[in-house]
Amino acid sequence: MAVDLIRPARPGDAAAIARVHVESWRTTYPGQLPDQYLVKLSAETYARRWQSLLGAAERGRRTFVLETAADGVAGFASCGSQRTGLSGFDGEFYALYLLDQMQGLGWGRRLLGAMAQQLLDTGMQAAVVWVLRDNQARWFYERLGGQRLAEQPIHFAGARLTEVAYGWSDLVPLARLAADPPVGGDH
């Protein structure tokens, strides 16, 4: 491939998405999730999960990948119908992960824009994202206009954590980000 691009994921991308998923969790969540959990993450297990998700016709769910000439799949993002019941928000950004070397180049912003456009295309006008309170990525969502909506305690991997919800009541400005050239300065 000659250029870096964002495209809809295909079932054949499952293993590559799983690799990014595991690698990005290991670099994003030290100190937030237990070390033993991060060490035991398995790209093979995640590949099976992603194969199932990408092959399923789950209503409204869509996954995008960042494909690069140098790394192949170097990031992914997933979105669909809101799952948590926050009033006034019909869509949700489920995941957005990039390999370390792709962060700060504008690709996170473009992936978020692609998800916003997908939600708009399926009739959704507003969306939320849940992020760990201690995850530095939450500032990325704030910089892109996400309004802090809620906070909730969760138990995950044997740890007590806090999730924060950010929301956008109008996805049109976010959707415009999909066309922005990657230049730097964000996720």
Q: What pLDDT was estimated at residue 177?
A: 87
CA–CA separation, 93 and 106 (whole Å): 17
Q: Does residue 44 carry a pLDDT above 50?
A: yes
Q: Which fold has domain 5-179?
A: Aminopeptidase (3.40.630)
Q: What pLDDT was estimated at residue 117?
A: 95
Residue pair 113/180 in contact (Cβ under 8 Å)? The answer is: yes
Q: How confident is the model at residue 178 (pLDDT cuts 50, 70, 90)?
A: confident
Residue pair 185/110 in contact (Cβ under 8 Å)? The answer is: no
CA–CA separation, 7 and 39 (whole Å): 30
The 10s digit of each residue's pLDDT in 13-41 is 999 999 999 999 999 999 999 999 999 99
The string over 123-161, giving b where at least 16 C-beta atoms fall within 10 Å of a residue's C-beta and e elsewhere, is: ebebbbbbbbeebebbebbeebebeebeeeeeeeeeeeb
| Longest CA span, the chain | 45
The 10s digit of each residue's pLDDT in 125-168 is 999 999 999 998 899 999 999 999 999 999 999 999 999 999 99
**30 CB-contact burial (10 Å; exposed 0-12 / middle 13-18 / buried 19+):** exposed
Q: Does residue 179 carry a pLDDT above 90?
A: no
Q: What pLDDT was estimated at residue 184?
A: 45
CA–CA separation, 3 and 105 (whole Å): 15
CA–CA separation, 115 and 141 (whole Å): 13
**What is the CB neighbour count within 10 angstroms for residue 107?**
24
pTM reported for the whole predicted model: 0.91
Q: Does residue 93 carry a pLDDT above 70?
A: yes
User: Which residues fall within 8 angstroms of residue 33, CB to CB, at 6 or more apart?
Assistant: 25, 156, 157, 159, 161
Residue with tokens 């849940």: 130
CA–CA separation, 130 and 107 (whole Å): 19
Task: Give the three-class secondary structure for 58.
Answer: coil
